[in-house]
Amino acid sequence: MYPSHRPRRLRRNPALRRLVAETSVEPRHLVLPMFVREGITEPAPIASMPGVVQHSRDSLRKAAVEAVEAGVGGLMLFGVPDKHDAVGSGATDPDGILNVALRDLSSEVGSDTVLMADLCLDEFTDHGHCGVLDEDGSVDNDRTLQIYGEMAVVQAESGADVVGPSGMMDGQVGVIRESLDATGFADTSILAYSAKYASAFFGPFREAVDSQLKGDRKTYQQDPANGRESLREADLDLAEGADMVMVKPALSYLDVVRDIAGVADVPVAAYQVSGEYAMVEAAAANGWLDRQRTVLETLTSIRRAGADVVLTYWAVEAARWLRAGHR
């Protein structure tokens, strides 16, 4: 008695496996998130994200050039201001660190890559929330929208090709679209964080941006228990004019990536967040995981689930591995 079906036949050697691989990851699929910090002259390491730094303006420029040379598809920029206030003024100030750095990158690599900017207030507010607060301390959705609208225009003026609203305020995509269109930035794209969960995996990011947050974001980010809700969030964002939709985090939400990729008629992105990075780095540092294999496996899995674009702190390193033929 022999098996009549032998799937192992196509796994016999590397050439066969390469021929029939369904999914691939290419450098162009990867977007590198970068942090730039106001007022420093040397890059500052982020302890919970070994290998990732808060850049100075100078080191940011150099790192951006390296990333572009490695072939990554784009850069997503986050600002770390040295002053915070209740309304996050640094976000809408053309001389705020994020906008200044966008101008730097725009002149340095603007024509060679896709420049994206995080559009959110949490890095700039003294309470660390993604929006402004009411007297009772709750996040005021509609007042926040006004500020997002202004922030989008300043980012577009500063050279962002794509703005990435990540605050999970209702109606944010629509307001940002209107405000960009009204100011001559009809060609600036919106990468909407459509499904963004109130996730423990954002932990190390809080260190990366010197977050002032006490408490949590559960009144605006989604409950990890909810999958269907993500389809609604994505539908709303598409109706409001999102050019791309994103799921975040990635690895614990691959079902959501799959569901959204199944219905969205725009490119789908997934963000492999700080905690996903830290988890693998920590295990690899202990010799418990093979770092390169693990990283490439996670990226492949995120692509397999349906993501066209993957934001990952490993973008540059992974791009180099991929170019060298690893998979």
Catalytic residues: 196, 248
* Choice between 119 and 153, CB closer to ligand PBG: 119
Q: Does 220 bind ligand PBG (CB under 6 A)?
A: no
d(CA 16, CA 142): 56
* Choice between 205 and 253, CB closer to ligand PBG: 205
Query: 132: helix, coil or strand?
Result: coil
Query: 94: helix, coil or strand?
Result: coil
* Choice between 166 and 222, CB closer to ligand PBG: 166
* Choice between 31 and 180, CB closer to ligand PBG: 31
The DSSP-derived string for 113-129 is SEEEEEE-STTTBSS--
Q: Quick one: which segment of 59-67, 89-97, 117-125, 238-246 binds ligand PBG (CB under 6 A)?
A: 117-125
Angle (CA) 11-13-14 rounded to 5° is: 100
Q: Does 233 bind ligand PBG (CB under 6 A)?
A: no
d(CA 302, CA 117): 22
* Choice between 150 and 327, CB closer to ligand PBG: 150
Q: Does 237 bind ligand PBG (CB under 6 A)?
A: no
Sole residue written with tokens 């809700």: 229
Hey, which residues does 74 pair with through a beta bridge?
31, 114
d(CA 89, CA 294): 40
Q: Does 205 bind ligand PBG (CB under 6 A)?
A: yes
Q: Quick one: which segment of 90-98, 114-122, 139-147, 176-184 binds ligand PBG (CB under 6 A)?
A: 114-122
192 in Cβ contact with 184 (< 8 Å):
no
| Binds ligand PBG (CB under 6 A): choice among 144, 274, 298, 301 | 274
Asked if the peptide bond before residue 94 counts as cis, ω within 30 degrees of 0, the response is: no
* Choice between 108 and 310, CB closer to ligand PBG: 310
| Binds ligand PBG (CB under 6 A): choice among 105, 116, 120, 264 | 120
Q: Does 166 bind ligand PBG (CB under 6 A)?
A: yes
| Binds ligand PBG (CB under 6 A): choice among 104, 108, 122, 281 | 122
Q: Does 148 bind ligand PBG (CB under 6 A)?
A: no
List the structure tokens of 70: 């490695």
Sign, CA dihedral 91-107-159-235, equals: negative
Q: Quick one: which segment of 115-123, 170-178, 235-243, 282-290 binds ligand PBG (CB under 6 A)?
A: 115-123
d(CA 211, CA 33): 17
Q: Does 273 bind ligand PBG (CB under 6 A)?
A: yes
Query: 310: helix, coil or strand?
Result: strand
Angle, to 10 degrees, between the axis of helix 97-109 and the axis of helix 141-158?
30
Please state the closest distance from residue 212 (CB atom) to ligand PBG, in A: 12
Q: Quick one: which segment of 58-66, 116-124, 136-144, 172-180 binds ligand PBG (CB under 6 A)?
A: 116-124
The count of C-alpha atoms lying within 13 angstroms of the C-alpha of 296, restricted to the half-sphere facing its C-beta, is 20
What is the binding site for ligand PBG (CB under 6 A)? 118, 120, 122, 130, 166, 202, 205, 217, 273-274
